[in-house]
Amino acid sequence: MGNVAGVPLKALVVDDDRAILDLVSRVLEREGFQVDRAIDGEQALERISNSSYQLILLDLMMPKMDGVQVLERIRRVNSQSLRKIIVTSAAAELHLGRLQGVCHVLPKPFDITSLANHARDCALPADLGPPPKQVNYQ
């Protein structure tokens, strides 16, 4: 699943919990994604600025820069990129107004099958069109 015309889709997994980071990365790799990782929002924005991702899994509660701040930066620079983001959080309902435009909100704890299904749907939406040009989110 995780490729288009034989080219692997790239995913970025952002979570400060290393166990979740490892688990989600393994699930996406099993689905055929090439996976990069970030442990906080600053690292995520750096990676997003230097690479193009078809899917971003973003935790909300992180040190340094949280997921909501990452979303706000992305929204300012290229709001279309929000459509490829899955937000994961145990407290997402507290931020629903600030999550508008993302592909999906996946409450923690989440089911691995659900994660894989949403990853496919968000990485390859029928109406997304060509990938956006590279932009600097920092």
* Spatial distance between the Cα atoms of 115 and 103, rounded to a whole number of angstroms: 12
Mean pLDDT rounded to a whole number for the chain = 84
Q: Cβ–Cβ contacts within 10 Å for residue 21, how many?
A: 19
Compute the average pLDDT of residues 38-61: 94
Q: Which domains does the chain have, with CATH numbers?
A: 3-123 (3.40.50.2300)
Tokens in use for 69?
A: 């701040």
How many helices and strands in the chain, by DSSP H and E?
4, 7
* Spatial distance between the Cα atoms of 138 and 124, rounded to a whole number of angstroms: 26
Q: Which pLDDT does position 34 carry in this prediction?
A: 96
Say if residues 35 and 124 touch (Cβ distance below 8 Å).
no
Kindly report whether the global pTM for this prediction surpasses the value 0.75. yes
* Spatial distance between the Cα atoms of 11 and 33, rounded to a whole number of angstroms: 6
CA 5 from chain center: how many Å? 22
Q: Which pLDDT does position 130 carry in this prediction?
A: 45
Q: Which pLDDT does position 95 carry in this prediction?
A: 55
Q: Over 60: is that where the pLDDT of 101 sits?
A: yes
Cis previous bond, 132, omega within 30: no
Of 23-32, 44-53, 122-131, the range with the lowest mean pLDDT is: 122-131
